[in-house]
Copies of this chain bind each other. A is one copy, B any other.
Amino acid sequence: MSKRNLLIVSTSTVHGLPYLSYLKKEVVKHFAGCKEIVFIPFARPGGVSWDDYTQVARNFFESLDISVKGIHEFDHPVNALKDAQGVFTGGGNTFVLLKEMHEQDLLKPLRSCISDGMPYMGTSAGSNLTGMTVNNTNDMPIVYPPSFEALGVIPFNINPHYLDPDPSSKHMGETRETRIKEYLVFNNLPVVGLREGSFLEVKGNEIQLKGELSMRMFEKGKTPYEVEPGADISFLLNGTSRID
């Protein structure tokens, strides 16, 4: 049975608060026992450099007495993952992140560590990475990855920063709900719309929605519906992930 231990987080930052601060208690618990974690900075929000982005993560984790090393700082990134006490993938552009992960052949070793029980946290693009594919990212496809296949350490997909339709909008672009419903015309995987401030905690075959808000569930052939924190969502782990 899978020993996965995941925090799948919609956003690193909620409006008006410093980076990751709203999640501090959960992060402490999640990475308990880790002296150093590996940070994956490849999503590069705003095009920031790997070094600068790693520094942002380092500044936060310093206050938890956990040191942070960027995966690009290791001579052998694959070995770095194998030896890692924990891994955190930050947000940014999902396509840029995924392309780098594929090109450096890092998905398989990361999947393997996760399967063995190493704690993983992903925010935004880093949460998209935990799904079967990145088909439900909100990001602009600014680079072309060799595949949309992601880690698949959960048997469904994530839509982070989930946004409800604005009934007062006169904009004719598709709503988030319309976009995800279009996905289900062509595909069968369930999609979780994770609102800002929400996160999924996955431990082996147990899964919980945390945070104050409900999530929006999209399943083929069903009307989208809301799920409250604390509800039984174990059905989400019934499908076949890539670590089962």
Shortest Cβ gap from A186 to chain B (Å): 6
Interface: A96 (CB within 8 A): yes
A170 B15 Cβ-Cβ under 8 A: yes
A residues at B contact (CB < 8 Å):
11, 13-16, 44-47, 93, 95-96, 134-144, 147-148, 161, 163, 170-174, 178-183, 185-187, 196
14 contacts between A and B (CB under 8 A): A14-B172, A15-B172, A16-B170, A45-B174, A46-B178, A46-B182, A47-B186, A96-B182, A135-B140, A135-B144, A137-B140, A140-B180, A142-B182, A161-B171
Further pairs besides A11-B173, A15-B171, A135-B142: 15, Cβ < 8 Å? A11-B172, A45-B174, A46-B181, A47-B185, A47-B186, A95-B141, A96-B186, A134-B141, A138-B173, A139-B174, A140-B182, A142-B183, A144-B147, A161-B171, A171-B196
